[in-house]
Amino acid sequence: MKAFAIHATRGRRPRMAATAALVATGLMLGACGGSSTPDGPSAPGEIPEALARFYHQQLSFGPCASYATTSADAIIFANPAFTCARLEVPLDYDNPDGRTAQIALLRVAAKGKPDQRLGSLLLNPGGPGFSGMSYATMAAEASADSPVTQQFDLIGFDPRGVGASTPALDCFTDAEREADVALSTLNSGVNDYTEEQTRQLYERCARRSGGEDVLAHVGTRDVARDMDVMRAVLGDKKLSFAGSSYGTRLGAVYAEMFPQNVRAMVLDGAVDPTTGTAARRLVQFAGFQGGFDNMAAFCAKTPGCPLGTDPAQASAAFQQLLQPLIDKPIALADGRQLTYTAALSGVVVPLYSEEGWPVIVRGIEELKAGSGKTLMLFRDLAQLRSADGSYGNASEAQLAIECLDEERHTPEEESAMKRAVFEVAPFMATGRPVRARDLCQHWPVKPTLGYPYAQDIKGLPKTLVVSVTRDPATPHEGGISLAKSLGASLLTVDGERHGVVLIGGNACVDGIVADYLVNLKSPDPARGCTL
């Protein structure tokens, strides 16, 4: 996704509904893949000799407190019900005797009888760049009474470069993050990068992250190979996996690389594996505009709507309030400043679910009154800001990961794409000339994913794709396409939300997903659910 770096976590643990909408679903605005085949195991249990020490390692699970990278996780990880460990993997699978990376895992043990345990269920919440460790604790809470938590150990892991895994991706200081340094080029016309600045971006990311070889090996294909090592070390002959948003890309790539090692796979809020970066972004940002328009229609029915009574004029009304922040941010009571980028982040994050619409309306009301408390709160959630002013690395991880996953564009191509984005999503338009640059312009390593991906896979068991009809971040068409590519069952859910599996609290979806994961029973093609 090099389009818009929005991530969410908790300054303190919020209510489950808010957490699910803001964190677990992830913002996945880009995806691509490829058809290359790795030198991995060709059958369950078959391990290349050079990788044997990784596949045969023993994990040492213990307390999770030392794994926390945010103030919220410091509280959550103190729970003795959670245990954590580090998995050693090659930084470069083509050089297994070279540097290694440490992948942080959190385990929530199955609650049922030992003889009913089915194995481990690996989880990925999206991003890319979100912490799977934090997500596992939320899924365990939200699905506490599910057969899934009774019969599976939930395993959340921070993908290489992310969160508690090391080496960790790092491109900016906390002070620079506080000042809303650009981690994307979506807001073209707002602090646009020069060619030299894109060069410096790569250099500083490499320096602060542990070297150029780190930035060369954080792509999705590397993470998929880590998952296979994880599967074996956890004692599972075949993988059970649930991934949301970007996690659908990760799951699909694993299925392509290791189809013989798949037991069950639930892919929720799917990304189209057949569509390239530029075309996919237009579809996805059109989805966000649709979510904004629906929110505006909701607002128009409420007294004193700050966007007016005509939803067709809401985008223009919103930008009249937002664009002045480019030159003059709002000073908040605590001395911080609400910038254009911060305010837009504060609106987009709650768009992930219609449950967030009242929050957006309140935030825009405050903005109109010259305040920004609510929008700053959601901006901080998106940027992993802790109460002490420190930041998590999800946004930086997203940037680096997508430099290996996405297509690269010349400045002319990037600018044309951003103009097209603003045409399909006018509520995001800056009103400034577009002079965008691909922030990965000077990454010396070519993208490693390639696409279309996950096509014509042989020997893949039946998987399950879950897709919400009015998903604002990953439109329903992507779910249809992914299900077709994988030969998967498709569960269509009528509603407006991004991500619903394990954390959505919908009995229909939960029952179908549990039946699939536990009993490997695919749903009736004619059956659907409603939020």
User: Which residue is catalytic, options 7, 217, 409, 498?
Assistant: 498
Catalytic residue (choose from 386, 471, 476, 485): 471
pTM of the model: 0.90
Tokens 């007294």 belong to residue: 303
**Helix/strand/coil for 293:** helix
Nearest to 497 by CA among 269, 168, 298: 269
CB atoms within 10 A of CB 312: 11
- Residue 188 is a catalytic residue: no
Higher pLDDT, 47 or 423: 423
Question: What is the separation of C-alpha 302 from the centre of its chain, rounded to a whole number of angstroms?
Answer: 33
Q: Give the DSSP H/E element, type plus range, for residue 282.
A: helix 277-300
pLDDT band, very low/low/confident/very high, at 102 (cuts 50, 70, 90): very high
| Catalytic choice (245, 315, 485, 489) | 245
Query: Which pLDDT belongs to residue 191?
Result: 77
Residues 212-238 have pLDDT tens digits of 999 999 999 999 999 999 999 999 999
Q: State yes or no: pLDDT of 429 exceeds 90.
A: yes
Alpha helix positions (H), 369-492: 373-382, 394-405, 411-424, 476-486
H helical segments located in 210-276: 212-215, 220-233, 246-257
The pLDDT assigned to 183 comes to 73
CA–CA gap between residue 88 and residue 353 (Å, rounded) = 37
Q: Taken in order 277, 280, 282, 285, is the CA torsion positive or negative?
A: negative
pLDDT in tens, 435-445: 899 999 999 99
- Mean pLDDT confidence for 273-278: 92
Residue 36's pLDDT is what? 34
* Active-site annotation holds for 245: yes
DSSP-assigned letter for residue 450: -
**Residue 360: alpha-carbon gap to chain centroid:** 21
Q: What confidence category does residue 8 fall into, taking pLDDT thresholds of 50, 70 and 90?
A: very low
- How far apart are alpha carbons 432 and 437 in whole angstroms? 15
Q: Across the chain, what does the average pLDDT equal?
A: 90
Lowest mean pLDDT among 49-53, 182-186, 206-210: 182-186
Q: Is 456 a catalytic residue?
A: no
Above pLDDT 90, what percent of the chain?
Answer: 83
Q: What is the pLDDT of residues 153-195, one digit of tens each?
A: 999 999 999 999 999 999 999 999 999 887 766 677 787 889 9
pLDDT in tens, 13-37: 333 333 333 433 333 333 333 333 3
Strand 464-468, strand 119-124: pairing: unpaired
Backbone angles phi, psi at 484, to 5 degrees: -65, -45
**Residue 449 φ/ψ, nearest 5 degrees:** -90, -55
Name the strand (E) or helix (H) holding 121. Answer: strand 119-124
